[in-house]
Amino acid sequence: MTISLDPTAYLLIAAALLALSGVPGLLLNRPLFGQRSAALCAVGASILGECAVIALLGGTPGATWQIDWPLPFGPALFSADLLSTIFLLPLFLVTGCASLYSLAYWPAREKSSAGKLTLFLGLFAAAMVIVVMARNGVLFLMAWEGMALSAYFLLTTDQQDSDVQRVGTVYLLATHTGTMALFALFSLLRGTTGTFAFPLPHTLSQGVPYATAIIVTALIGFGGKAGLMPLHFWLPGAHANAPSHVSAMMSGLMLKMGVYGILRTLSFFDALPVWLGWLILLLGAWSALNGIALATGQRDLKRLLACSSIENIGIIFIGIGLALVGMQTQSPYLVVCGFFGAFIHIINHSLFKSLLFLGSGVLIHGTGTREIDLMGGLARRMPVTSPLFLIGSLAICGLPPLNGFVGELFLYVGAITDGVTAPLPLAALVAPVLALVGGLAVITFVKLYGIVFLGSPRSAAAAHGHEATAMMTGPMVLLAAGCLIAGMAPVLLMRLVAPVVEYYGNVAGDVMVQVTGQVPLVPLTIANCMLIALGLAIGAVYLRRLHRQPALYGSTWGCGYLAPTPRIQYTGTSFSELVVNLLGTLVAPRRQRPGLDCVVLPRPAQFHYEVTETVLNQVLTPVFHWTGLAFSYVRRLQHGQIHVYMLYIFVTLFVLMIWTH
């Protein structure tokens, strides 16, 4: 039996299912049932959505659905093309995993906010599905606003916490500033085309009025959501303070909506200005470098992961920038490799960053803290989470045999083939930048994994850390398997993305074959297999020796002391101190050293260290402070005298009456 519904319809059904998934939990007075039914709905929707995505990638064209609503902005148009699928693919996967995970992480039995969380989680996912399917500017903005607001409510689940309130406000200000730019964008687009419906791909010429303004507003509005420097300031705080599965969705999925917006806007034009490719490349490189530099110095587990999201978004934008530059200089290698790198990294980052955020949720659940320097020795206490977290960490560093390497490999190939042979080989500089970023990422994640999982516990909370239930580790296993499969069989990943690159980059089939033939994917698979085999062999030898000769257990980092304390271990801060000092200009660490005002013996002293957000703390906060001072004069108008308020209205009316003559 075949049901001849087109993929768009499936996707719309999935979106509706997601949006309504939290409603029963609100209406019925049975929170546990509500949460379970919502998770069931979300998983069902995810499976449905993935089926539709696979159909689309397989070549089934998605129909355009038109819904005539009474609003005066033209009909609501929904459609799904290949560009949408590259975002829908991870969206449904991560949503399903996150909603299963939430059953154990935020159980309705213990937390009263579970109903609210479940409702907005569904709405959030549904809004993102609609964002990538909307083909009308107003519909897009509505979905965009729905996504931004439900993210706000998800992020402020712990609304009693003053930190959460503060980052929530920063997020809300940032997202609405971005939305303001989007209002300008879609108004300009309407001014150009005469309708709110999206123009067909490549139909706007570069010379249309406002073309530059459209591109710039898109960069501001969507770039802010993606977390592109310097509009990233809301991101670390928001990701760190949200519940972990929400952070996974925000980082893995919501940031990508910004990338989608930029790609969609650029697709309207048949040719793009020369500076745009370089600008995006530059912003991407800056985000990647600065993001990972910020991540290196962090002490907060989730803040570190959030900063590394900025880095990964930077890598995605490096890919897009390379491709755009390639379009200008007519070099197919740059176009194909750039888009491949960007699209593959979009999928990969969703996989491993969600895995890491879910893992951080397990850590927080087990130890009750987010502070890296209070953890330690958790590998023994969390035997399932530890290897999963290791897989995520390796993948995010871009090391083989995991998937992070594949996307970056394409970028390297692009940079050192056409990038080098160009008359002015500026694009080739991408390779050293990527290498630097990769190196810093390795330092960051060695620090993260080493301090958290190895050594001995640095606090009582870490010593009592415990493993999570299968409901929490199950989704992580799924994501880790995704990372591993994509890394082991990169050809699979390439086949998946190839139609999208062909469609979006307007690349001819033979050029695709020629370029992708240059990328050593098959040797990579063989090398990966050998690597795994080697690892397994070493493991087997080790286990046999362990079996023959029972191990002696001593304290880690004991260094021969008889009574070592956990405090003689490296902390995360000390591990990364060298790098943070080298990158001082990017990271701006703030230290408060103890004063050595001793006479004979030093007195007890305090040492305080934190990594600051340059944009937020040194630019935006002072600006808002001074603006507040400037407007305090205006606030004198509001003094509490009702009569004078009436007088304001009276005077206004009077002035208006006189004005009319």
Q: Which residue ranges make up the site for other proteins (CB under 8 A)? A: 638-644, 646-647, 649-650, 653, 657, 660-661
Q: How far is the CB of 637 from other proteins (least distance, A)?
A: 12
The CB-of-660 to other proteins minimum distance in angstroms stands at 8
Q: What residue spans of 430-520 are helical by DSSP H?
A: 430-453, 460-463, 470-488, 490-505, 509-518
What's the closest the beta carbon of residue 638 comes to other proteins, in angstroms? 7
Least distance (Å) between residue 308 CB and other proteins? 41
Q: State phi, psi for 291 to the nearest 5 degrees.
A: -60, -50
- CB neighbours of 451 closer than 8 A, spacing ≥ 6? 372, 373, 375, 376, 570, 571, 572, 575
CB of 620 to other proteins, least distance (A): 24
Question: How far is the C-alpha of 477 from the C-alpha of 457, rounded, in Å?
Answer: 25
With respect to other proteins, which residue has the nearer C-beta, 548 or 635?
Answer: 635
Closest CB to other proteins among residues 29, 660? 660
Nearest approach, Cβ of residue 388 and other proteins (Å) = 50
Q: 605 or 644: whose CB is closer to other proteins?
A: 644
Structure tokens at 381: 């206490």
536 or 646, CB closer to other proteins? 646
- Residue 425's contacts (CB-CB under 8 Å, 6 or more residues apart) are 419
Closest CA to 26 of 152, 146, 117: 117
**In the bound complex, what is the minimum distance in angstroms from residue 261's beta carbon to other proteins?**
38
Burial class (CB in 10 A: 0-12, 13-18, 19+), 117: buried
Nearer to other proteins, 464 or 625 (CB): 625
- The nearest distance, CB 149 to other proteins, in angstroms, is 25
> Nearer Cβ to other proteins, position 548 or 636?
636
Contacting residues for 85 by C-beta, under 8 A, at least 6 apart = 53, 56, 57, 500
Residue placing its CB nearer to other proteins in the complex, 567 or 643: 643
DSSP β-ladder status, 76-78 and 608-611: unpaired
Nearer to other proteins, 553 or 659 (CB): 659
Say if CB 399 and CB 352 are below 8 A apart: no
CA 471 vs CA 36, 43, 343, 436, 467: distances in Å: 12, 13, 30, 38, 11
Minimum distance from CB of 165 to other proteins (Å)? 17
What 3-state class would DSSP assign to 565?
Answer: coil
CB of 636 to other proteins, least distance (A): 12
Q: Provide CB contacts within 8 A for 196, sequence distance 6+.
A: 73, 74, 136, 137, 138, 186, 189, 190
CB-wise, 549 or 660, nearer to other proteins? 660
Nearest distance from C-beta of residue 116 to other proteins, angstroms? 27
Tokens 């397990």 — which residue? 362
Neighbours of 213 (CB within 10 A): 15
User: Residues near 532 by Cβ (< 8 Å), separated by ≥ 6?
Assistant: 401, 488
Q: How far is the CB of 647 from other proteins (least distance, A)?
A: 5
Judged by CB, which is closer to other proteins: 567, or 639?
Answer: 639
For the bound state, the minimum distance from the C-beta of residue 71 to other proteins, rounded and expressed in Å, comes to 26
Q: Confirm if 466 and 388 have CB atoms less than 8 A apart.
A: no
Of 27 and 646, nearer to other proteins (C-beta) is: 646
Token duo for residue 494 = 């390439």
Tokens matching residue 330? 């007519």
Nearer to other proteins, 180 or 646 (CB): 646
Pick 275 or 650: Cβ nearer other proteins: 650
What is the amino acid identity at position 29? N
Which secondary structure element, helix H or strand E, spans residue 310, and what is its range?
helix 301-328
Residue 607 CA to chain centroid, in angstroms?
A: 33
**Shortest spacing between CB 639 and other proteins, in angstroms:** 7
Residue from 474, 442, 486 nearest 350 by CA: 486
| Closest CA relative to residue 115, chosen from 31, 40, 41 | 31
Length of the chain: 661
Q: 424 vs 649, which CB is nearer to other proteins?
A: 649
